[in-house]
């Protein structure tokens, strides 16, 4: 009888262990699938050579016979971006103008400028300054230029922007006139 009792207890114990194991297996929930990897977002780089055109308006200020007028021309430059934010660059431009200094048509202006910008991915705010050259009739002179602008990389290559520049020529070509001009212009550049 003891053998039957031991056999019954053993069978009961094994059944309980099996049932407990089955319950424990039911308690383990299936793991949800791993989340999908986030999409790769490329950060725009401002580093590179660019070439473009600009069109705007200038306000001349040398004496009472000055005239304001449209300006337009082209620019070429190079930017280098550090640490995805700081942008250093060099730019040269040349614009034909409809302005007058002291009754003389300002045939064209040209500048060579440094640019220091701060990039927010595809947007960049920058300050700029350097040397300016202007030819007005038979007169020509070298002065300085400074300004600021904002650019937006619409694509990896097309970059529109707006720029303000202040030109200053002290004693323009020894005429006694201190010629100044303020220009605001829209820009469109192609970055290679």
Per-residue model confidence (pLDDT) at position 43: 84
Q: 164, 152, 162, 165: which is closest to 187 by C-alpha?
A: 162
Instruction: Supply the pLDDT for residue 104.
Output: 84
- CA 44 from centroid of its chain's CA atoms: 8
Confidence of residue 40 (pLDDT cuts 50, 70, 90): low
Residue pair 95/103 in contact (Cβ under 8 Å)? The answer is: no
Helical segments of 30-85, H only: none
Give residue-wise pLDDT tens across range 13-33.
555 555 555 555 555 667 778
pLDDT tens-digit series, residues 116-175:
999 999 999 999 999 999 999 899 999 999 999 999 999 999 999 999 999 999 998 998
Domain ranges of the chain: 1-29, 48-191
The CATH code of the domain at 48-191 is: 2.40.160.20
Compute the C-alpha angle 89/94/98, nearest 5°.
135
């Amino acid at each position: 009888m003891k053998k039957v009792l031991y056999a019954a207890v053993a069978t009961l114990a094994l059944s309980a262990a099996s049932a407990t194991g089955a319950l424990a297996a039911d308690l383990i929930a299936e793991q949800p699938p791993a989340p999908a990897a986030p999409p790769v977002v490329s950060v725009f780089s401002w580093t590179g050579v660019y070439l473009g055109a600009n069109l705007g308006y200038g306000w001349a200020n040398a004496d009472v016979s000055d005239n304001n007028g449209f300006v337009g021309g082209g620019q070429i430059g190079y930017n280098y971006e550090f640490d995805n934010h700081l942008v250093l660059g060099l730019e040269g431009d040349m614009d034909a103008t409809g302005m007058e200094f002291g009754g003389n048509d300002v045939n064209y202006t040209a500048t060579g400028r440094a640019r220091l910008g701060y990039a927010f991915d595809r947007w960049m705010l920058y300050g700029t300054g350097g040397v300016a050259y202007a030819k007005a009739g038979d007169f020509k002179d070298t002065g300085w230029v400074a300004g600021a602008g904002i650019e937006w990389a619409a694509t990896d290559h097309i970059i529109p922007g707006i720029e303000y520049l202040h030109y200053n020529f002290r004693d323009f070509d020894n005429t006694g006139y201190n010629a100044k001009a303020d220009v605001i212009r829209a820009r469109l550049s192609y970055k290679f």
